[in-house]
Amino acid sequence: MPTSMNPHNRNRTFAALAIVVIVAGAAAWQYRSDRASTSAAPSDHAASDADTALVAVPRPATTTAAEVKAAKKPAPIYVLSTPLPPPNAPLTQVYADLKTRADAGDAQAASRLYRDVGRCLHTRDVLANQSRAASWMLEDDTSRLDADQLARRERRLGTIEDELAKARANSGLCEGATPAELQLAPVALRAAQLGDVQAADCYVSAGLTAGGGLLDHPEWLQDYKANALSLANSAVEQGDWTMVNQLQRAYAQSSGAGLLAQVTGGDPSQAYAYLKLRSLGAVTPQGNSFLSRQLADAAQNLPADAVTQGDTWAQNAYQQYFGANPQINTPRGFNPCQNIGAD
Amino acid sequence: MLTPRRLVLALLGLVALSCTVWYVRDPRLHAATATAATSASQPGAGATQPASRLRHAANTHASHESAGAKSVALPEAPEPLAKVYDVLKSRADSGDVDAATRLFHEVHRCVALRQTRRLLAEFHAMFADNPAASSIGIVRGGQRLQFLQPHEMADYVQANAARCDGATDEQLDSFTPLLLQAAQRGDIQALDCYVGTDFDGMEGVLDHPEWIGQYRDAVPGLVESALQRGDWVIVDLLRRDPYSEVYDSSARAQVFGNDPVMDYRLLRLEQLGATDEFAEWLAAKVAGAAKALSPAQLAAAQEWATDYYSRYFNSASNEVAHGTDICQITDD
């Protein structure tokens, strides 16, 4: 918190926060998307193009909307879901049953398990970290703070108190959960495989590390390599702007693109195609203008036919997948693995 | 201001995790464009501090000492990595420590170059038409800040491109095991970098799940050795962000877990080496961390900190007061 940071860092941090505000004001639109919540079986039509040369035609651009629709998809899994446990059932009481049902292909059970585990992770983290943060804030010397700084500090402490109250209310649902039951990666993967787009967003972005367990399960890396790209492509086909952003950053090898960038490899043509798709979902004229400039910059380094094909693919994808969800509305800095299952 | 020859970069893949890139506004344009900035001096302060921000706390780092036997002459320094990689790798695998050290530094240089190019491209794509953008800021782990000057980064790319032309992704993705080797040989900068690396910053890890177990096995010993060499950087790196309200999913946090005793020990140790404002700032953190400990735990942790400080640390910890930059490379 700025009010109590290392004094040497404080100025820079204030500056940084101000800067973030400025940037956010200029470009917040670009991260906005609607987190599609419809469920469908994921397709696996796309394969890794990690070795594609810079001048290669982007894979999306070579695929028309009709071809995308006709692309090979696994047979949908139809499982009649029996009623889920009551919403306030403790995780330890429902974990085994939900896991069994999820493993058998019950999409609702898989999504419920993902959210229950996510909620307990969030509860654990709030209780541990926000309590600590609050205790440290209360130790700070406030004698040198001005009125605005004091007001910000009070607001922050109030927010922490609210978060702690919610976490305490949820703590009974999570009591006794084992570390293995709090591992997010496997439940996120299963829910994503059964069509939960929000679970896919989390799994693809930071699902392997968000809940711990990777140290004991390095095989998750191989699961990720085998599944991440097909899950990402499927999410895009369900109109998921969050995944469009993730794929664009991965193909561009942007900072913070995470493990997905290792799966996709760098591919400027594909990065352009997804950037074009994002531009079609831009909410404001400013956002559109900003992305247009980025597109023009990216196009300068591509052959003309790659640009044309990227434009065509993006138009087709936008019309086919984003008709019900035409505008990006994911907040800037949105973390798909944070606040899972929060009310 | 740094010159290209002294440019130090902290740009490896590990900073990619959870990092946000923004620009620092040119203070000369501040008055004309800022309405949200809290003061004119703050962006300027950030933009004019890359030298101090990027310069490693050199006196915390013992110079690397090659422990190996004398080897035959290494390839000439300006040779491109692609040309010398195989011979250096072969010699390193045969136990030639000088070759291993040289290979690590050459690969490090080219990994930094790759990351620099990516960041520059991102910067230009986002802010090329914004005359107020003069620097790149990176936040890692929500708090640690770095400010990099695009023109310096461009200079670095220009100065090192020839030495990295033709290097393959496979060669560059060998960085993580080379980094571990260098850390285990005693290169303290490599040690800090390795411990601070996050799993999704390990390029190539998807094909090498064994790196996860290696990290878990190696890190505790590396941390202890760094402490016993008086490395303030590792202290600052490992103590948890006092104001972080989110789960620390970093690789090192997964190894050490949620350990209030360790938090207190490290904060107290850092406090013992601090003076002036930094000491005041740490005092509040130490007091907060103490609340999580029993009296017996508190007494033992204080004893540990006092013991380690007196035995291993003979410099002020203020040099990490601005945060810790790791994985830097100095162009030699």
Domain ranges of chain B: 4-229
Q: What integer pLDDT is reported at residue A209 of this predicted model?
A: 82
Which of B221-235, B248-262, B290-304 comes out lowest in average pLDDT? Answer: B248-262
DSSP string across B31-100: HHH-SS-S-THHHHHHHT-HHHHHS--GGGSPPP---SPP-SPPPPTTS-HHHHHHHHHHHHHTT-HHHH
The pLDDT of residue A45 is above 70:
no
Smallest Cβ–Cβ distance between B323 and the set A9, A23, A163 belongs to A9
**B142: contact with A, CB 8 A cutoff:** no
Q: What is the rounded CA–CA span in Å between residue B69 and residue B162?
A: 31
DSSP A286-341: HHHHHHHHHHHHHHTTS-HHHHHHHHHHHHHHHHHHSTT--S--PPTT--TTSSTT
Distance from C-alpha of A307 to C-alpha of A324, rounded to nearest angstrom? 26
Secondary structure (3-state) at A140: coil
Give the CA count within 13 Å in the CB-facing half-sphere of B227: 23
> Which residue on chain A is closest to B21 by alpha carbon?
A255
Instruction: Write out the two tokens for A124.
Output: 């654990």
Least confident of A259-268, A270-279, B49-58, B118-127: B49-58
Going by their DSSP bridges, the two strands B20-25 and B133-140 should be labelled as antiparallel
A292 and B CB contact within 8 Å: no
Would the pLDDT of A113 be above 90? yes
Rg from Cα positions in chain A = 22
Residue B174: both structure tokens together: 């060998």
Between the CA of residue B283 and those of A166, B262, B268, B278, what are the distances in Å? 31, 16, 8, 9
Residues 211-270 of B with CB under 8 A from A: 212-213, 215-216, 242-249, 251, 254-255, 258
Q: Do B42 and A12 touch (CB under 8 A)?
A: yes
pLDDT (0 to 100) of residue A141: 76
The answer to whether B320 faces chain A, any CB pair under 8 Å, is no
Residues of B with Cβ-Cβ distance to A128 under 8 angstroms: 258
* Chain B, window 30-59: residues with a beta carbon less than 8 angstroms from a chain A beta carbon: 34, 36-39, 41-43, 45-46, 49
pLDDT of residue A199: 96
Chain B contact for A218 (CB, 8 A cutoff): yes
Lowest model confidence (mean pLDDT) among A70-84, A129-143, A321-335: A70-84
The minimal CB distance from B17 to the residues A135, A256, A262 is found for A256
Residues of A in contact with B117 (CB under 8 A): none
Residues above pLDDT 70, as percent of chain B: 65
> What is the Cα–Cα distance from B66 to A47, expressed in whole angstroms?
45
Please give, rounded to a whole number of angstroms, the shortest distance from the CA of B242 to a CA of chain A: 6
Residues of chain A found within 8 Å of residue B327, distances taken between Cβ atoms: none
DSSP string, B187-252: -HHHHHHHHH--GGGSTTGGG-THHHHHHHHHHHHHHHHHHTTT-HHHHHHHSPPTT--S----HH
Instruction: Chain B: give the shortest CA distance to residue A297, in Å.
Output: 7
Residue A133's pLDDT band, with cuts at 50, 70 and 90, is confident
pLDDT in tens, B155-179: 888 888 999 999 998 899 999 999 9
User: Can you give the pLDDT at residue B127?
Assistant: 66
Query: What is the spatial distance between Cα A164 and Cα B2, in angstroms, rounded to a whole number?
Result: 46
Q: Distance between alpha carbon B196 and the CA centroid of its chain, in Å?
A: 7
ipTM: 0.74
pLDDT at B329: 62
Is A51 in the B-facing interface, judged by CB distances under 8 Å?
A: no
Asked whether the beta carbons of B20 and B138 are under 8 A apart, the reply is yes
Contact B323 A224 (CB under 8 A): no
Alpha-carbon gap, residue B323 to B326, rounded angstroms: 10
If you average pLDDT over residues A140-167, what whole number do you get? 88
Looking at residues B32-43, what average pLDDT do you find?
Answer: 28
- Per-residue DSSP letter, B137: E
Q: How high does pLDDT run on average in chain A?
A: 76
For B80-116, how does the pLDDT look when each residue is reduced to its tens digit (9 = 90+)? 999 999 999 999 888 888 888 889 989 999 998 888 8
Q: Which residue has the tokens 């703050």?
A: B42
Span A96-123, mean pLDDT? Answer: 94
Is the pLDDT confidence value at A225 over 60?
yes
- Mean local confidence (pLDDT), A13-26: 26
Alpha-carbon span A117 to A83, nearest angstrom: 19
Rounded Cα gap, residues B123 and B117, in angstroms: 10
The angle at the Cα of A64, spanning A61 to A70, to the nearest 5 degrees, equals 130
- A-B contacts (CB, under 8 Å): 202
Work out the percent of chain B whose per-residue pLDDT is above 90: 33
* Whole-number average pLDDT of chain B: 73
| Cross-chain residue pair A16–B22, CB shorter than 8 Å | yes
Residues A107/A79, Cβ–Cβ less than 8 Å: yes
Local structure of B291: helix, strand or coil: coil
Residues forming beta bridges with residue B32, ordered by sequence position: none
Q: Which pLDDT score is estimated for A118?
A: 92
Give percent helix, percent strand, percent coil of chain A, each to the nearest 5.
Answer: 65, 0, 35
Q: Is A180 on the interface with B (CB under 8 A)?
A: no
Which pLDDT belongs to residue A227?
96
Beta-carbon separation of A132 and B292 below 8 A: yes
Interchain contact A286–B (C-beta under 8 A): no
Chain B interface, best mutation among A255, A259, A295, by max B CB count within 10 A:
A255
B interface test, pick of A131, A156, A209 with most B CB neighbours within 10 Å: A209
More confident residue, B12 or B104: B104
Q: Indicate the residue type of A200.
A: A
Q: What is the pTM for the complete model shown?
A: 0.75
Q: Is A143 on the interface with B (CB under 8 A)?
A: no
> Do residue B205 and residue A221 have CB atoms under 8 angstroms apart?
yes
Mutate to test the interface with A, among B212, B239, B247, B322 (most CBs of A within 10 A): B247
| Chain A nearest C-alpha distance from B65 (Å) | 31
Residues of A in Cβ contact (< 8 Å) with B137: 16, 19
